[in-house]
Amino acid sequence: MNEPLRGVIVSHADLAEALVSAVRAISGVDGALQAVSNEGCSPSALAARIEAAIGKGPALLFVDLPGGSCLTSAVRSARGRSELAVVTGVNLAMLLDFVFHRDLSPAEAARRAADAGGRAIRTPAA
């Protein structure tokens, strides 16, 4: 059996850590996600943090915004590496889905995360 995917959340400030905590509280799953903050980081320092969080891989990199320092560092890390993929716009719904579906390829997991995250964005009548 292949190594299950690791999720690495790359965010501004403390968002990634808070998402890891929320996923743990809701799902009871621990150890599937790693938090990386860009706080105080140059691009090279952030890249080093991401690499440390990826470990041996494979991994899916969840980035908060579809642009900016978190994205540029994540995409540079993943460039040319089939054991890594990137998805942006991380939200709690996509992470909760991910921790129970870590047996996919990184590319498949990225598409699934985008679908799950997108489905969670609604405008319910109040």
Partner 1 sequence: MSLALIRLDDRLIHGQVVVGWGQPLNVAFIVLVDDEVRESVWEQDLYRMGVPPQIEVVFASIAEAAHLLADWEADPRTGILLAGDIDTMSALVGSGRIRRVNIGGIHHRAGRSERLRYVYLTDEEATKLRRLASNGVEVTAQDVPTARAVPIGEFL
Distance of closest approach, residue 38 Cβ to partner 1, in angstroms? 8
Distance of closest approach, residue 113 Cβ to partner 1, in angstroms? 18
Cβ-based nearer residue to partner 1, 66 or 100:
66
DSSP the chain: -PPPPEEEEEESTTHHHHHHHHHHHHH---SSEEEEE-TT--HHHHHHHHHHHHTT--EEEEESSSSSHHHHHHHHHHTT-TTEEEEES--HHHHHHHTT--SS-HHHHHHHHHHHHHHT------
Cβ-based nearer residue to partner 1, 6 or 49:
49
Residue 47 binds partner 1 (CB under 8 A): no
Q: Looking only at residues 52 through 111 of this chain, which bind partner 1 when binding is defined by CB under 8 A?
A: 65-69, 71-72, 75-76, 79
Q: Is the dihedral of CA 38, 39, 45, 50 positive or negative?
A: negative
Distance of closest approach, residue 79 Cβ to partner 1, in angstroms? 8
Q: What is the pairing mode between strands 6-11 and 84-88?
A: unpaired
Site string for partner 1, 6-35 (x = CB under 8 A): ------x-----------------------
The single residue among 22, 45, 107, 120 that binds partner 1, judged by CB under 8 A, is: 45
Q: Residues in the site for partner 1, rule: CB under 8 A?
A: 12, 40-45, 65-69, 71-72, 75-76, 79
